[in-house]
Amino acid sequence: MGQMDFHKDVMNNFPASHFTSPLKMTTPQYDLSNTLPPHTLTRLARDWLAEDTPNFDPAGLCVGSHEVEARLLCKTACSVLAGRPFFTAVFTELSCTVEWAHKEGAQLGPDAVAQTAVVRGPARCVLLGERPALNCLARASGIATRCSQLQSIAREAGWHGHVAGTRKTTPGFRLVEKYAMLVGGVSMHRQDLSGMVMLKDNHIWASGSITQAVRDARSVCGFSSKIEVECGSREEGSEAATAGADIVMLDNFKPQELHAAAQLLKEEFPSVLIEASGGVTPDNLPQYLSPHVDIISLGCITQGCPVVDFSLKVQKPVAFPIIFESQ
Chain segment 107-120, per-residue pLDDT in tens: 998 888 999 999 99
- Residue in 226, 256, 267, 291 with CA at minimum distance from that of residue 15: 291
> What angle (nearest 5°) sits at the alpha carbon of residue 179, between those of residues 223 and 86?
135
Q: Residue 231: its pLDDT value, please? A: 97
- Reported as a single tens digit per residue, the pLDDT across 159-176 is 989 999 999 999 999 999
Tell me the average pLDDT of the chain.
90
Q: What percent of the chain has pLDDT over 70?
A: 88
Residue 271 contacts by C-beta under 8 Å, 6 or more apart in sequence? Answer: 22
HSE-up of residue 185 (Cα within 13 Å, Cβ side): 24
178-182, 228-232, 240-244, 313-317: segment of lowest average pLDDT: 313-317
Give pLDDT, residue 109.
82
pLDDT at residue 320, as a whole number: 53
CA separation for the pair 34, 29 (Å, rounded): 12
Query: Which residue among 24, 75, 103, 168 is the active-site one?
Result: 168
Confidence of residue 317 (pLDDT cuts 50, 70, 90): confident
249 pLDDT higher than 70: yes
Give the span between the Cα atoms of 250 and 241, in whole angstroms. 12
Q: In the structure, what pLDDT confidence band is assigned to residue 195 with cuts at 50, 70 and 90?
A: confident
- pLDDT higher than threshold 50 for residue 68: yes
Under DSSP, is residue 248 helix (H, G, I), strand (E, B) or coil? strand
In this structure, the number of other CB atoms found within 10 A of the CB of residue 34 comes to 8
How confident is the model at residue 285, as a pLDDT?
Answer: 97
Q: How far apart are CA 15 and CA 23, in angstroms?
A: 18
Backbone angles phi, psi at 263, to 5 degrees: -65, -45
pLDDT band at residue 29 under the 50/70/90 scheme: confident
- C-alpha dihedral sign at 160, 166, 170, 172: positive
Q: 34: which DSSP letter?
A: G
Residue 212: per-residue pLDDT: 95
Average of pLDDT values for 113-139? 97
Cis amide leading into 110 (omega within 30): yes
pLDDT surpassing 50 at residue 26: no
pLDDT value at 8 more than 80: no
Q: How many residues does the chain have?
A: 327
Flag whether pLDDT at 289 surpasses 50: yes
Residue 178 annotated as catalytic: no
